[in-house]
């Protein structure tokens, strides 16, 4: 801030509150827009995608630091591996991945099926 004293304090506080409000607004927007994940989907994503990616990132970081390469190389390698992970998640055919969803049934059809089965059993 280009000001001194009390004006600087109030402008800094206002700027901080504005940025905090924007972050909260974005978080609410994302939570309201995207569907919720079930806990099994979230755990599968964590163990199958995020943990291997974090190990890969640790290995890449150790290579860059051990061989004293410039740090921009680490950024390039991390972005390359991240784009590879995104490719694996979104582009690969979904038939190769197991389906992780719940089957939905119409309640009226289930009642009719149960009623038909009970009529067959009584005869």
pLDDT in tens, 22-80: 999 998 988 888 777 788 888 888 898 889 999 999 999 999 999 999 999 999 999 99
* Claim to verify: residue 12 and residue 45 sit in the same structural domain: no
Whether the model pTM is above 0.75? no
48 and 89 both lie in a single domain: yes
Residue 60: half-sphere exposure toward Cβ, Cα within 13 Å: 19
Residue 57: count of CB within 10 angstroms of its CB: 15
Using CB atoms within 10 Å of the CB of residue 56, give its burial: 0 to 12 exposed, 13 to 18 middle, 19+ buried.
middle
Distance CA 24, CA 35 (A): 18
Tell me which residue range forms the domain holding 51: 38-94
**Is 52 found in the same domain as 6?**
no
Same domain, yes or no: 25 and 47 = no
User: Are both 63 and 73 inside the same structural domain?
Assistant: yes
90 lies in the same domain as 62: yes
CB atoms within 10 A of CB 64: 19
More confident position, 113 or 18: 18
- Residue 120 confidence class, pLDDT cut points 50, 70, 90: low
pLDDT at 34: 79
Tokens of 44: 């599968």
Give the chain's domain count: 2
């Amino acid at each position: 801030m280009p000001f001194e004293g009390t004006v600087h304090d109030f402008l800094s506080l206002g700027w901080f509150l504005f940025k905090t409000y924007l972050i909260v607004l974005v978080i609410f927007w994302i939570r309201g827009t995207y569907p919720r994940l079930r806990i099994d989907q979230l755990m599968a994503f964590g163990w199958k995608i995020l943990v291997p990616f974090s190990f890969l990132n640790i290995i890449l970081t150790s290579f860059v630091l051990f061989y004293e390469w410039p740090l921009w190389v680490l950024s390039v390698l991390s972005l390359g591996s991240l784009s590879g992970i995104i490719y694996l998640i979104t582009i690969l055919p979904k038939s190769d991945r197991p389906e992780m969803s719940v089957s939905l049934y119409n309640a009226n059809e289930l009642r009719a099926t149960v009623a038909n089965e009970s009529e067959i059993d009584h005869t």
